[in-house]
Amino acid sequence: MAQSKGIMHLPLAQEFVQQVGGEFAFDLVKYCERLKRDTTDEEIAKKVKAKITEIRTALNRLHYRGIACYQKTRNQKTGWYSYTWNIKTKRIAELITEQQLEEVLKLEKKRDFEQNYVFFNCKKGCGNHPFEIAAEYQFRCPECGKTLESTNNEKKIRDINRNIKKIGNQLEEIKIFL
């Protein structure tokens, strides 16, 4: 069902393509996804209402990541090359999945760290220190000298778990495009 809309209806894909390809990348990919055939950069520029140089810049950025692919043909009369481009939407899904899985690993590492250590913080908000550091400074802030107090990091752990779950849901949405 969702695949009939195309990957570019997902906010995560929109943000990713914009981040990778620049300002006109989203419109460019959306147009090519709807077109379902190879097209020239000139045609894309006309439809997206952008300068040809901006479209070429976006296409080259997308090409670098394997999202945009081209075929080059030479005009025998003029000697000029013309390029026809296509967009690999499956590659967008692959790159997003890769990026999201890396983010999950980072969050899991952070969660494990938060679960395995007791933290102490300064009343003035100078910083958060694990037990070992706090004990080394006799439970006094190394920056201002105030007493360090134990902190409850359950909320932080819940937030991390919520983010992991959110990413898991996004990965489920993306999976149908792989």
Which residues make Cβ contacts (< 8 Å) with residue 78, sequence separation at least 6?
A: none
Per-residue pLDDT for 4 more than 80? no
Query: What is the torsional sign of CA 142, 147, 153, 156?
Result: negative
Mean pLDDT for the chain?
92
| pLDDT greater than 70 at residue 2 | no
Residue 3: what residue type?
Q
Do the beta carbons of residue 49 and residue 102 sit within 8 Å?
A: no
Closest to 170 in 3D by CA, of 62, 6, 13, 3: 13
- Higher-confidence residue of 56 and 36: namely 56
**Is 94 a residue whose pLDDT tops 90?**
yes
Q: Give me the pLDDT at residue 129, please.
A: 87
Domains parsed from the chain with CATH numbers: 2-87 (1.10.10.10), 93-175 (no CATH)
* Rounded-to-integer distance, Cα 29 and Cα 133, Å: 50
Predicted TM-score (pTM) of the model is 0.84
